[in-house]
Structure 1
Amino acid sequence: AAIGGVLGSKIYYLLENLDQVIDNPMGMIFSGSGLVFLGGLMGGTFAVTIVLQKNNLPWLIFADIVAPLLILGYGIGRIGCFLVGDDYGIPTHLPWAVSFPDGLPPSTSQVFSTYYPWIDISGFVPGVLPVHPTQLYEFTLTVAIFYFLWSRRNSVKIAGSLFFLYLILAGIERFVIEFIRTNEKYLFDIFSGSQIISMIMIIIGSYFLINPLPKREL
């Protein structure tokens, strides 16, 4: 799971930043950054599926057990992002905006002009820009989702239902937050790559909540 998660997160990060990969392929591939959660979720799920099938273990029951922990781990990871100044949002004048002069990368007008040219910063004074602390927004939302899933863990009647509910809630959370993140929009110039994956998560979760799989099915 760990290997699959790391590989999946790294591949997703490289696909999301192809322009930087072209400029500095070796630096991007072998850097310690780029452990993107959605890619890690896909890679980790694939790896765990192989192990569970090999040992003839029930995938759906295992998924229900780890679902609350997945969202909690994601939220805790966002605190780490906040502390290092990574994965922040677009510039804002809101009173709780945060600046990251030493962030990864710094939240400066030069960085936004170079790496995020699709974001309008014309209403801001050049220099270090105040941005949405999306890491804290996500931490708050994920803790609420964790509490909700955790409170339902002993009342699961259909195997897999808690995990598919997790897919829906985690997908909605990330889909909404992406509107104020710095990620480039691809689909119709409105939705980012993360939002596309979030929509897929919501669709899959909704489908299998309505059409439950047998316990021994994948």
Structure 2
Amino acid sequence: MLVHPDIDPVAVHLGPLAVHWYGIMYLLGFLGFWWFGTRRAQMAHIQWPKERVSDLLFYGVMGVILGGRIGYTVFYNFKGFVAEPTVIFRIWEGGMSFHGGLIGVLVAFAWFGHVHKLKFFEVADFAAPMIPLGLFTGRIGNFINGELWGAPTNLPWGMVFQKAGSLPRHPSMLYEAILEGLVLFLILWFYGKKPRPRMAVSALFLIGYGVFRTMVEFVRLPDAHIGYLYGTGWITEGMVLSQPMWLAGAVMLIWGYRKRRVGR
């Protein structure tokens, strides 16, 4: 049995400013996107100027932060927002929805493509392999905060989270960091190293995330104020939101290969 180290969520105090680990993890995710993005831009079948990657990152950061926070408020904490509207600004407390962030990023990609005269999937297919890096660092931020733990377990890597009582639980945020972060990154990075049909890389991201997130939702506890849906005792909000992702990804992947518009 393991015990969560109960890390102080504040990494350092700079006078009156408290720098939280959660924010640092997001920063590392953005830096990872830029570092790998500049290398992806140099691949023979892509050939983007490096400055375009920095510009895309700026658009993406805005999409992630605004979409993630608004999405969390709408999908998971709308009643709390109605009771206290300022809660939407407390990003340092956690509470970022991936599905909301994805919507924000899609809007950002569309606007970026409009500005740079690029088709939407030229942008999305370029960016998709780097997105799991942010998912990895974000889930590590959840682990540091000691949040989003799973159901009780007798497995040897079960972990006791002080905020959740004395029972060892699935460290579900680490499962997500590994599957949605590292594993999905490796799949997309190596798949995207060769020319692929338009929208295929984006489709594989949607499939991978939707499947991995659904798998973890079986052992991750839902938000206490939402609980399991439809009286089932096992269907969660995250599970419901993930099904359209892998379904849409499967349709896109089939469609992309049928059209065979490689490199366009």
Alignment partner, residue 135 of structure 1: 173
Q: How many residues align?
A: 191
Match of 2:103 among 23, 42, 49: 42
Letter matched to residue 228 of structure 2:
K
Task: Give unmatched runs, 5+ long, in structure 1.
Answer: 109-127
Match of 2:68 among 3, 9, 16: 9
Range with bigger deviation, 86-95 or 130-139: 86-95
Deviations 1:103-132 (A, max 9, x none): xxx113xxxxxxxxxxxxxxxxxxx33211
Alignment partner, residue 247 of structure 2: 203
Letter matched to residue 167 of structure 1:
L
Give the distance between the partners of 2:137 and 2:80, measured in 1 at CA.
27
Alignment partner, residue 195 of structure 2: 156
Contact 1:5-1:40 at 8 Å conserved across structures = yes
Contact 1:107-1:130 at 8 Å conserved across structures = no
RMSD of the TM alignment (CA)?
2.2
Letter matched to residue 85 of structure 1:
G
Letter matched to residue 90 of structure 1:
A
Contact 2:153-2:168 at 8 Å conserved across structures = yes
TM-score (norm 1): 0.78
Contact 1:20-1:28 at 8 Å conserved across structures = yes
The structure 1 segments of at least 4 consecutive aligned residues displaced by more than 6 Å after TM superposition are none
Q: CA deviation at 1:52?
A: 1.1
Give the distance between the partners of 1:8 and 1:86, measured in 2 at CA.
20
User: Does the alignment pair 1:52 with 2:109?
Assistant: no
Alignment partner, residue 183 of structure 2: 144
Give the distance between the partners of 1:43 and 1:204, measured in 2 at CA.
17
Letter matched to residue 131 of structure 1:
R
Letter matched to residue 77 of structure 2:
N
Task: Give unmatched runs, 5+ long, in structure 2.
Answer: 1-59
Change (3 A) 1:82 1:204: same
User: Does the alignment pair 1:80 with 2:141?
Assistant: yes
TM-score (norm 2): 0.65
Other structure's SS at 2:218 match: helix
Percent sequence identity over aligned pairs? 31
